[in-house]
Amino acid sequence: MDERQLKEILGAEAVPPADENARKQAINLALAAFDEARRETRKKRQGFGLLGRLIGRDRKRSKGRPMRKSLVLGGSAAALLMMVATASVFTARSWLDAQRAGPQRVLMLDKADAGRDPGEKREREFAAAEQAAPAPTIAETKRKPAKQPSVDARGQLELQYRLSSPMQGGGVPILVVPSPGDVVPPHYQDVGRDQFQSVEQNPVKRVAEDPVSTFSIDVDTASYAFVRRQLNHGVLPQKDAVRIEELINYFTYAYPLPEARERPFETTVSVTPSPWKDGNKLIHIGIKGYDIEPAEKPRSNLVFLLDVSGSMNAPDKLPLMVNSMKLLLDTLGPEDTVAIVVYAGAAGTVLEPTKVAEKNKILAALDRLQAGGSTAGAEGIRQAYALAEASLDDKAVNRVILATDGDFNVGITNREELKDFIERKRDTGVFLSVLGFGQGNLNDHLMQTLAQNGNGVAAHIDTLNEARKVLVEEASSALFPIAKDVKIQVDFNPRKVAEYRLIGYETRALAREDFSNDQVDAGDIGAGHTVTAIYEITPVGSENRMIEPSRYETTAAVSETPFADEYAFLKIRYKLPDQDRSTLITTPVTLAQESATGASAREAQWATAVAAFGQLLKGGKYTGAYTYDDVIALAQGAKGDDRFGYRAEFINLVRLARTASALPKN
């Protein structure tokens, strides 16, 4: 600020009228101080009377001189005036406090108050503040402050009341009252930086040209939790954030269990009419893995890799993450081990591998975590894997659990480099699962890549209830794999099926030759997991065909085959967790499977409703005139035994989607 600007500010401030009594009092005090100064500084004589010799001024220290005190008081008044004038320009900002320390006005209390009890003076100030609002400062007249939560006058003074230490000579305490300022959020907020992989929906394919469909299973549920979070905020999710298979597989289904442990899961197939296109049919493929009894669970050797960067400083991030880890801790046995590695600007080990029997030690380490710094996630991954490998137990489940809110911006940030690193570490027997927290900086694409290549699951934790579902109710599924590299291949019969379309699983597509190649990685199934996949097919002779036949295509009838009653032939390959060679399961999809009843029909209807909802969120390219109301009607009749209320919650989300905004409100 230069002199010209200061003059403009001072000139704009109205000068209060002079008070005659105050003027007279000031003059009297000044004259009294002048007389006292003369007495103190007048020349003295050494000796007797007029014969004495003149000596110089008194050399004693001047801290008690009234003249000096009056000069100090005058200078202090000028300084206070300058503070008032310049308060509109300089504003102290602090991102650690919930409120900015705005421009200040310094008020001098009456001299009569100097000897009174400070508590008594505070009560009088509070009473005065409740009677009238404080006068506006220069800063208030120059700019309009942002809206802030209302605070009563007494509370404002209670928070800001500061008494200075007594000054020499009985100085008067001062009261500092900040003028209104902008409210700064007490935690980190990042908006609009969520990253999702952009993939086109699976297209309709002609059986005559491409009769075989191959994909890897997917047991992740992160997409459902993110969609729920957005809809609960009144906003439609990004289309790329909607992965239909993850919406479907968020729910458990009452599929039959395998009869023997030698076969880790059972396959269920049913054929139902398509509710959004008359004449088309839906082929449902369901897989149910066997569950592990508590006494059969292997030991767990876990490393919690926790993001404590500055962006985690939010109620739905670091505090929720810590509480989620505590819930998981409660599901572990006393002989299981837990280690904790954290990363921000750098990475470090907070807790060496510790038996869960020493739970208090683990809880204390979690409670000490604080957020701050950048995000050196790659270095944290290195340390976590090194720690897991150092305590590797061949008879235990060795897993790193990464909990983060977003991207890695320090160290290795290339997705392919991280993917290759995770793949190599997977071969050592250490797997990786990923838990996402918060929104605004969520790198979903990276988390999906890491989880898929680390033989783990990816989940989004938006509430403590979701943490309980993922880490307590489904802890066995998340921690204990019963089959790995599970691939599905469907060979459609051209005599019965003209066209088909796989609903979802766009990011899990495999080449046809990958199905029999045991070197190609695929998804895993945990204990008790259920997986569902849905194909929409157009029967031969239907008028619903979306692909026009070629002008030169032969119209010769397909020769009779022994498979005339089959829509398709289902093949599934999997490996047991300790094996490297895959096993093949086959099941024909026949006309007889159109007559499903009971629990099988109900579960197929529920999966259809969820699939329809996901397609509508992605734009409804293939659902015609189907609406959210149609989804609600279909789902209402298939809720079944909704023990935890997840299906009722889904129906409410569909209702929210009807009125949700396409863009977030400012």
Cβ-contact 378, 418 below 8 angstroms = yes
Tell whether 178 and 268 lie within a shared domain: no
What are the pLDDT digits (tens) for 283-305?
999 999 998 888 888 999 999 99
CA angle (414 as vertex; 376, 340 as ends), nearest 5: 30
- Indicate the residue among 426, 444, 476 that finishes a domain: 476
When the pLDDT of each residue in the chain is averaged and rounded to a whole number, the result is: 78
In a domain, 651, yes or no: yes
Compute CA 474 distance to the chain's CA centroid, rounded to the nearest angstrom.
21
Tell whether 152 and 129 lie within a shared domain: yes
Residues ≥6 apart with Cβ < 8 Å to 435:
321, 324, 401, 402, 403, 404, 458, 459, 460, 461, 470
Cβ-contact 58, 41 below 8 angstroms = yes
Tell whether 492 and 348 lie within a shared domain: no
Token pair 């949700």 in the structure block, residue = 660
In a domain, 446, yes or no: yes
Structure tokens at 344: 């921000």
When mean pLDDT is compared over 100-104, 306-310, 339-343, 405-409, the highest value belongs to: 339-343
**What is the DSSP secondary-structure string of 284-319?**
EEEEEEPP--GGGPPEEEEEEEEE-SGGG-STTTHH
pLDDT of residue 15: 64
- In this structure, of 352-356, 503-507, 575-579, the range with the lowest mean pLDDT score is 575-579
CA dihedral 77, 83, 84, 87 (to 10 degrees): 180
Between 369 and 345, the higher pLDDT residue: 369
Count of the separate structural domains present in the chain: 3
What are the pLDDT digits (tens) for 458-477?
999 999 999 999 999 998 88
Domain region containing 82: 72-186
pLDDT of residue 489: 99
Q: How far apart are the C-alpha atoms of 593 and 270, rounded to whole Å?
A: 5
In a domain, 198, yes or no: no
Tell whether 611 and 518 lie within a shared domain: yes
Which amino acid is present at 463? Answer: T
Residues ≥6 apart with Cβ < 8 Å to 128:
none
Calculate mean pLDDT across residues 339-362: 91
Centre a 10 Å sphere on the Cβ of residue 370 and count the other Cβ atoms it contains. Answer: 11
Tell whether 405 and 382 lie within a shared domain: yes
Q: How far apart are the C-alpha atoms of 339 and 401, rounded to whole Å?
A: 10
Tell whether 496 and 615 lie within a shared domain: yes
Position 407 confidence tier, pLDDT thresholds 50, 70, 90: low
Q: How far apart are the C-alpha atoms of 264 and 259, rounded to whole Å?
A: 9
**362 sits in which H/E element:** helix 359-367
Tell whether 636 and 492 lie within a shared domain: yes
Q: How far apart are the C-alpha atoms of 441 and 311, rounded to whole Å?
A: 8
- In this structure, of 101-105, 313-317, 540-544, the range with the lowest mean pLDDT score is 101-105
Q: Name the DSSP letter for residue 171.
A: P
Cβ-contact 310, 348 below 8 angstroms = no
Tell whether 402 and 494 lie within a shared domain: no
Tell whether 275 and 366 lie within a shared domain: no
Q: Name the DSSP letter for residue 250.
A: T
Structure tokens at 373: 């710094």
In a domain, 28, yes or no: no
Tell whether 514 and 644 lie within a shared domain: yes
Tell whether 319 and 449 lie within a shared domain: yes
Calculate mean pLDDT across residues 397-410: 81
What are the pLDDT digits (tens) for 136-159?
443 444 444 444 433 344 333 333
In a domain, 456, yes or no: yes
CA dihedral 146, 148, 153, 158 (to 10 degrees): -110
Q: How far apart are the C-alpha atoms of 249 and 457, rounded to whole Å?
A: 12
pLDDT of residue 258: 87
Tell whether 110 and 255 lie within a shared domain: no
In a domain, 664, yes or no: no
Position 262 confidence tier, pLDDT thresholds 50, 70, 90: confident
Angle between helices 318-330 and 359-367 (to 10 degrees): 170
- Indicate the residue among 450, 476, 502 that finishes a domain: 476
In a domain, 59, yes or no: no
- Indicate the residue among 476, 494, 527 that finishes a domain: 476
Position 16 confidence tier, pLDDT thresholds 50, 70, 90: low
pLDDT > 70: percent of the chain: 68
In a domain, 38, yes or no: no
